[in-house]
């Protein structure tokens, strides 16, 4: 009995030592294998990135090199796509604005409310006005007021601006660009064709165009713009032509009215391409 105890102790000690050695060898082998796998994977990934031609790689889907190249291709394509999309979008808009500016204007204006008006001449209303008494803007205003503007048909339009008795009425405050053009067609009379020189003052008759603003706080209309010219009509022609155009920036308040007067309203050619009047909000 006394010899059996030491033998069991030795056997237990040997077993523990053997188990320790086996565990140590297993851990070392696993660590070595793991490091080897990491190094192999790293070398393969780097070799994929350092290859001269990424398109020539034909490895399978399970190969790390294939995965790296596919992710790299996707990243490059996404980056280039976003870059060229911005450049092409800008180039296309520039080209469209050059060829079809109205489309780009509508696209830009769609994000904000439209405040603009463009009224044109109307032959029908002018005939009706000429059958009655001559139109006058009153003693406080120079010239004859043009009241026969067209606001809906043809080239004319009204956006958040009203047309009342030939006057544009704005509803929003701000800085407006106001413009007007009248096309004069002067018909020569028999006196102007005389050889004695009578009617020379008619051949040099001045043509004036005025743009006025009416405000509720002031009873007298305010003159905003004026253009004038004295033209000498040719005796050899049946009529003479002259176009008066002017435009400028002016602050307007809600309820302000704009209208146009001329020296001789009956001589104005009321074609929609020749005589027009308008305003639009800048800021």
Rounded CA-CA distance 132/127 in Å is 9
Rounded CA-CA distance 212/138 in Å is 12
Residues 255, 161 share a domain? yes
Residues 130, 55 share a domain? no
- The answer to whether 232 is a known ligand-binding residue is yes
Spell out the residues 6+ positions from residue 107 whose beta carbon is closer than 8 angstroms to its own: none
Domain end residue (candidates: 51, 75, 99):
75
Domain assignment present for 234: yes
On the CB side of 57, CA atoms within 13 Å amount to: 23
The mean-pLDDT minimum among 179-183, 196-200, 224-228, 254-258 falls in 196-200
Residues 243, 181 share a domain? yes
Domain end residue (candidates: 21, 50, 75):
75
Residues 121, 180 share a domain? yes
Q: How confident is the prediction for the chain on average, in pLDDT?
A: 75
Question: What's 264's domain CATH number?
Answer: 2.60.120.40
Residues 257, 179 share a domain? yes
* Terminal Cα distance for the chain, rounded: 113
Residues 70, 162 share a domain? no
Residue 145 is predicted with a pLDDT of 92
Residue 105 is predicted with a pLDDT of 55
Q: How confident is the model at residue 201 (pLDDT cuts 50, 70, 90)?
A: very low
Residue 151 is part of which domain span?
Answer: 114-281
**Taking the alpha carbons of 55, 60, 65, 68 in that order, is the dihedral positive or negative?**
positive
DSSP state of 159: E
pLDDT value at 157 more than 90 = yes
Q: How confident is the model at residue 248 (pLDDT cuts 50, 70, 90)?
A: very high
Residues 64, 120 share a domain? no
Residues 216, 118 share a domain? yes
Domain assignment present for 90: no
C-alpha distances in Å from residue 55, one per residue of 48, 58, 66, 195: 11, 8, 10, 93
Domain end residue (candidates: 23, 52, 75):
75
Residues 153, 30 share a domain? no
Q: Kindly tell me the burial class for residue 146, based on how many C-beta atoms sit within 10 Å of its own C-beta (0-12, 13-18, 19 or more).
A: buried
Count structural domains, the chain: 2
Rounded CA-CA distance 272/265 in Å is 15
Domain assignment present for 222: yes
Q: How confident is the model at residue 40 (pLDDT cuts 50, 70, 90)?
A: low
DSSP state of 220: S
**Of residues 8 and 106, which shows the higher confidence score?**
8
pLDDT value at 262 more than 50 = yes
Tens-digit pLDDT profile for residues 45-73: 555 555 545 455 455 555 656 676 777 77
């Amino acid at each position: 009995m006394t010899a059996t105890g030491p033998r069991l102790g030795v056997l237990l000690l040997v077993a523990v030592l053997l188990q320790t050695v086996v565990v140590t060898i297993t851990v070392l082998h696993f660590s070595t294998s793991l490091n080897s796998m990491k190094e192999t994977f790293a070398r393969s990934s780097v070799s994929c990135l350092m290859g001269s031609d990424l398109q020539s790689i034909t490895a399978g889907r399970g190969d790390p090199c294939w995965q790296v190249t596919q992710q790299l291709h996707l990243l490059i394509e996404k980056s280039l796509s976003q870059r060229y999309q911005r450049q092409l979008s800008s180039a296309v808009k520039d080209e469209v604005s050059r060829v079809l500016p109205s489309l780009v204007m509508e696209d830009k204006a769609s994000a904000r409310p439209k405040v603009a008006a463009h009224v044109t001449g109307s032959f029908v209303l002018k005939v009706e006005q000429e059958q009655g008494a001559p139109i006058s803007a009153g003693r406080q205003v120079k010239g004859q007021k043009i009241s026969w503007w067209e606001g809906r048909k043809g080239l004319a339009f009204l956006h958040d601006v009203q047309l009342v008795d030939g006057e544009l009425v704005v509803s929003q405050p701000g800085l407006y660009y106001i413009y007007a053009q009248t096309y004069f067609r002067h018909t020569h009379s028999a006196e102007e064709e005389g050889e004695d020189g009578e009617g020379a003052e008619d051949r040099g008759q001045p043509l004036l165009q005025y743009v006025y603003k009416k405000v509720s706080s002031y009873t007298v209309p305010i003159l905003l713009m004026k253009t004038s010219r004295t033209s000498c009509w040719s005796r050899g022609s049946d009529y003479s032509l002259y176009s008066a155009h002017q435009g400028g920036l002016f602050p307007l308040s809600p309820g302000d009215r704009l209208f146009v007067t001329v020296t001789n309203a009956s001589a104005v050619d009321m074609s929609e391409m020749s005589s027009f009047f308008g305003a639009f909000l800048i800021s």
